[in-house]
Structure 1
Amino acid sequence: MRFRATRAWCAAFLTAGTLLAGPAAAQDPTVQLKISIWLPPAHPLVPATRAWAADIEKASGGTIKSVLFPSEQLGKAFDHYDMARDGIADVSYVNPGYQPGRFPVIAVGQIPFTFNDGHKGTQALDAWYRRYAETEMKDTKFCFAFVHDPGSIHARKKIAVPADLKGLKVRPAQSTIGQLDTLLGATNVQGSAPEARDMLDRGVAEAIFFPWGSVFLFGIDKVVRYHVDEPLYTTVFTYNINKAKYDGMTPAQRKVIDDHCTPEWAEKVAGPWIDFEAAGRTRMKGLAGHEVYPLAPEQLAAWRKAAEPLTSAWSEAVRKVGVDPDRALAELKDSLRKHDAAY
């Protein structure tokens, strides 16, 4: 009798322990997350983020709920890092390249000819950047980093070699591409993705660095017709969380967030977008009135040569913030090799 009572007590203890050790305990207070994405609802990243948030809610036992705000409802695309820092949003979608010089370390992922694939590139970038994010993005809780499928140049006139950019007004994808434009004698015209079509339509810009599927999503296919068929560049992105919101959660809730801020989740969230951009390239090739053309070997070599100074400029920038560029670049290359993601 005593043995059965002891066994029953042990079973009850183990059951209670399991409940307490779970992702989030039933007594945890409800937390509401405002997630801000400056992209339109039709963008693949929006439903992917909803699925990520739904999994967080499930894993937290319903205690971490979310509301998603797309289309710059809470603030402009350029402001999203500060929005997460200041609590205007609890989670925000950040393009570090929208603020030149502010996040020099992660900018290495924006140098042309770095990644060969969005899926593998995301895993390589996120796994590498985590240790640097602790310092570079220290006033937010870094969640994860990712890249889109490699993009290219889309223009109102045919561009084949770097010299063709001289004198053109170009909307760069991010700050590193802006540096390249300047090196090649182009004029940078700044504008967020939602503003890009209008800029090209009005002649404010004549060419744009953009991923393929988004050319259709933002209506850019209506105002340009020439497209270079090469994976020239990627843009890096991050999801950042307000530190006060994260720190105010219970330990169990913070673990749920940590479990959803991993390289694996980075690829899960970015994956549908990566596939969408890759499909855009195929779609463009079959579209009447558009010319999609590869570069000859010597033309591609000229682009790679033109991009070489960007690595030196990046090295100088990160050295100024106390990071050893040789070590950081070697670590990134190791991550690229590990994930088979190098260009």
Structure 2
Amino acid sequence: MKKLFPLTLALAALLSFTGCSKEEGPTTNNKDVTTLRFSHLWPASAMMNVEAFEPWAKKIEEESGGRLKVEIYPSATLSKPDSTYDAVAKGTVDLGVQVPSYVNGRFPLTQVAELPGLSSSAVQMSCMLQKLYDEDVIASEYKDTHLLFMIGSEPGTLHTINKPIRKPADMVGMRIRRPSAIAGDIIEAAGGSPVGLPATDLYTSLQRGVIDGMSFPWSPTGSFKLTEIVNTHTTMPFYSSALLVTMNKNKYESLPDDLKKVIDNNSGKEMAKITAKVFDKEAAFYSEEARARGDVMIDIPDPLNDPDWKIPLEAGTQKYLNDIEALGLDSKLVYQKAKEASLACKS
């Protein structure tokens, strides 16, 4: 036992020294890490989450040296799709994706960019929206948050179950999910009955026959697994959806300048372009998958010059512009700016 005692003391001293040196090594103190909770409506498996938002969050963490951490909450688990903007403004969440059309009348100028004939891809739509924001045409609608970047979807598509829509008359009496007031006006002008539903409710609503079909871009149709139910598709650029990623203003202002710069460097037109490319890639994938599966595919590439579709599309457009004008807003000027942005962003 006497021979073991010095060895025991030596081991104890070594362990004590090792423990101290580990604590004194270069580590990031948890108190120095700012965690940003990011709420969006896509499922975790969606291409938008996996190929756009997760790499974005990782890039912010890396460029901040680990001092910024973005925690992603998909599937609207942290805030409802129609109230995410307010949740960000109030600080309930730090970052969030809002679809302006989910809050009717809240972002009327932004939605002018959704009108028929203005964009033919998500890349063009995102470029348009970001340009309108950067040039202060629609920026007034987002003053209570720190907007990071705008996103535009590819043009919407009409999806149904065994009910082809080739002409407006085919929609008469059908209950069609509308993603926005604009699309709703057009569906109504064509004779259909527009129904307002968030994306997260579409699967069960189609299953139960609550709606006969839906107006939805290809990308989220696949992301939300709605391609498992619908089998008839009318691809027609009669509207596009605007989206945005924004940040709580107080949270942004509380960051030191170097961390603000990290956020700024991962905002704006470059991020708008990255997310738009994911939209277009996903749209191509799901539309080709449906075509290969043997789904009924109806293509109307230029509805504004189609004798059947021209009337309801123009009627829906004019109704929306008149409604905005009635609010005391210069819808004609914004529409003109949107058309200019459309030409500038055409690739």
Aligned partner of residue 144 in structure 1, secondary structure: strand
Q: What amino acid sits opposite 2:130 in the alignment?
A: D
- When residues 37 and 297 of structure 1 are mapped into structure 2, their CA distance, relative to the original with a 3 A threshold, is closer
Aligned partner of residue 311 in structure 2, secondary structure: helix
Say which of 78, 90, 97 aligns to 2:82.
Answer: 78
How many Å separate the matches in 2 of 1:147 and 1:134? 16
Aligned partner of residue 116 in structure 1, secondary structure: coil
- Tell me the residue number matched to 1:102: 106
How big is the alpha-carbon RMSD for the aligned residues of Structure 1 and Structure 2?
Answer: 2.3
On the 8 A contact 2:175/2:212 being kept in 1, the answer is yes
Aligned partner of residue 82 in structure 2, secondary structure: helix
Please state how far the C-alpha of 1:292 moved relative to its aligned partner. 0.8
Please state how far the C-alpha of 1:87 moved relative to its aligned partner. 1.2
Normalising by structure 1, report the TM-score.
0.84
Say which of 127, 149, 152 aligns to 1:147.
Answer: 152
Please state how far the C-alpha of 1:100 moved relative to its aligned partner. 1.1
Q: Does 1:31 align with 2:34?
A: yes
Q: Which digits, 9 at most, give the CA deviation of each residue in 1:55-74, with x for residues without a partner?
A: 22222232221100001111
Q: What amino acid sits opposite 1:210 in the alignment?
A: F
Q: Does 1:45 align with 2:51?
A: no
- Tell me the residue number matched to 2:95: 91
How many Å separate the matches in 2 of 1:220 and 1:129? 32
Please state how far the C-alpha of 1:169 moved relative to its aligned partner. 0.7
Say which of 211, 215, 220 aligns to 1:214.
Answer: 220
Q: Which digits, 9 at most, give the CA deviation of each residue in 1:235-275, with x for residues without a partner?
A: 11001111111111122222222222211111113322321
Q: Which digits, 9 at most, give the CA deviation of each residue in 1:277-328, with x for residues without a partner?
A: 122111111113x211234978933223211133333333444555422322
- Tell me the residue number matched to 1:57: 61
Q: What amino acid sits opposite 2:93 in the alignment?
A: A
How many Å separate the matches in 2 of 1:134 and 1:255? 20
Aligned residues: 314
Identity of aligned residues (%): 25
On the 8 A contact 2:168/2:308 being kept in 1, the answer is yes
On the 8 A contact 1:178/1:188 being kept in 2, the answer is yes
- When residues 269 and 229 of structure 1 are mapped into structure 2, their CA distance, relative to the original with a 3 A threshold, is closer
On the 8 A contact 2:113/2:338 being kept in 1, the answer is no
Q: Does 1:193 align with 2:199?
A: yes
Please state how far the C-alpha of 1:219 moved relative to its aligned partner. 2.9
Q: Does 1:205 align with 2:211?
A: yes
Range moving further from structure 2, 269-278 or 295-304: 295-304
Q: Which digits, 9 at most, give the CA deviation of each residue in 1:2-34, with x for residues without a partner?
A: xxxxxxxxxxxxxxxxxxxxxxxx9x9532110
- Tell me the residue number matched to 2:116: 112
Structure 2 portions without partners, runs of 5+:
1-28
On the 8 A contact 1:107/1:314 being kept in 2, the answer is no
Q: Which digits, 9 at most, give the CA deviation of each residue in 1:215-235, with x for residues without a partner?
A: 333232333221113333311
- Tell me the residue number matched to 2:261: 255
- Tell me the residue number matched to 2:125: 121
On the 8 A contact 1:169/1:189 being kept in 2, the answer is yes
Structure 1 portions without partners, runs of 5+:
1-25
